[in-house]
Every structure is written in C-alpha cells, then in structure tokens.
Copies of this chain bind each other. A is one copy, B any other.
Amino acid sequence: MPIVTLTTDFGHSDYYVGAMKGAILRVAPTAQLIDISHQIPPQDILAAAFTLRHAACEFPPGTTHLAVVDPGVGTQRRPLAFKADDQTWVGPDNGLFSFILDRAEGSIHEIDRKDLCAPQQSSTFHGRDIFAPIAAHLCDGLDLSEIGPAITNPIRLNEISPHKSPDQIEGQIIHVDCFGNLVSNITASDIEPWESALRIRFGSHALSKIKKAYADVATGEPLALIGSANFLEISVNGGNAAQRFGLNRRAPIIIEKLP
C-alpha cells in the first residue's frame, strides 16, 4: 500500500484537491493518500518548500511526495520527478524542492510521457493532468528513467540559506507559524560554533542566548530557540512573536559573533 503525500495551495473549498486524489487513485487504487497541506498561501513557493521539507522528512522510505504550487502552469516551466532520501518527489521545477535537491539520488528527470498523463491536458491544472498520474505510476513501481530525460539545472530558491561571513550571519524569516513563531533560515549547525557568545538581532530587538524551551523565560518574554524544524526561531512564551515585533516573512535576522 504505497504512500503518496499531497502539498498544494488549492485550499479546501474547491474541487481541485478532490480531482487530484481521484486522478491518483484511478492509476494506483491502493495508494494511501496523506494530506500534508492544501493551505499553502497561494503561489507561495517558499512556504511550500518549507512545509514540504519539514513534513516529508518524517515519512518512511518509499513514500512519494506530490507537491503542486505552480504559478507557472501553462508556461514552459518543466515538470520534474526525482529521488532523494529514499523517497520520490514529483512537481513543477520552480524551487519547490529547494531544500531537498542537494540530497537527490541519481538523476532529476523532466516528465515527458504524455501517454501516462490525462488524455486531454488542460493548460491550467497540471496537478490533475500531469503530476497526479505520474506520481501514481511512480508509486506503483514505474522506474524514474521511464518518465523523461535527465536534467541538470533544477531551480533553487535563494532564500533557503543565509549569507555567512567570518563574524556575522545574515539570515531572514522564512516562515511564520500559526502561533506567530518566527522561523529563520539559520540552522542549528550554522550557529553552533558561536553559541557561547553571540547576539541575535531582529527588528529593533536583540537577544543573546539560545534557550531550550518556551518555559525557560517568563510568560510574555521573547526568546530564541532551535525549533522543532531545526531552524533558529524567535518566539514569545505564551504569546505571538510576529504580532509583538511586527515582523513577517523576509524580515532580516542577523547573528553577530561577539568578541
């Protein structure tokens, strides 16, 4: 019973998600479909890339991840599939897989098998007409090399890594979760060498310690911690850091090494 996850920006009030699920099950009727999220902000590739990375890494080997946040549908952007972390990834070539591509195993393939796709392909809904049936065929055992030619230059988003210099890391907020926690693109290992003496600057504020848990500071107090996603986060114990500091995605967050 192969597992296929779905990550899209289609929301829950349209027929799009249902149609994609049907298109998968028509090819692979025993597939177990697992919703990761259909509430990615419309056309927000970075949010989708972040969500996909942090959910997908928990799934067992052999899982197929189908992700469709696709502002370029109907243009020349390529449809892709590849393997990484013993899992299979299917979706548009627009940066969605930025956090995963470095761990790709074998080639990245452009999907080029019209005969495996919907007989009448719309130009607006490749999720249903291309990605769903291809994901279903791959979860059913089709070899990746069968779906189209290997490519070498998949698109990566710039935002996924901070800029590092000898005494400073310039990162940014890449995710604000539903509790208002500000998740940066700075990882635990980026910070580790400096942890004994650093300053974390964001907005007009600064913190100088990495805490272990929300409860390490008083209620209502801000803190920096390594969140469950292994990225540096700014939070407020019992509060909403995004509202408190008036910060949102793409806001800079700077780590300074102290002397």
The interface of chain A, by Cβ under 8 A from chain B, is 1, 3, 5, 7, 10-23, 25-26, 29-30, 32-42, 50-60, 63, 74-75, 122-125, 128-129, 177-179, 212-215, 225, 227-229
Contacts of A123 in B (CB 8 A): 212-214
List, sorted by A's number, 14 A–B pairs whose CB atoms are closer than 8 Å: A12-B39, A13-B178, A15-B37, A15-B52, A15-B53, A19-B228, A20-B58, A22-B34, A22-B60, A25-B60, A26-B59, A26-B60, A42-B179, A125-B228
User: What is the bound-complex CA distance between A5 and B26, given in angstroms?
Assistant: 13
| A12 near B37: Cβ-Cβ < 8 Å | yes
| A18 near B3: Cβ-Cβ < 8 Å | no
User: What is the bound-complex CA distance between A7 and B19, given in angstroms?
Assistant: 12
| B7 near A34: Cβ-Cβ < 8 Å | no
User: What is the bound-complex CA distance between A134 and B129, given in angstroms?
Assistant: 32
User: A18-B37, A55-B19, A128-B58 are known contacts. Are A11 and B178 too (CB-CB below 8 A)?
Assistant: yes
A180 to chain B, nearest CB (A): 10
Contacts of A19 in B (CB 8 A): 54-55, 57-58, 228
User: What is the bound-complex CA distance between A189 and B164, given in angstroms?
Assistant: 59
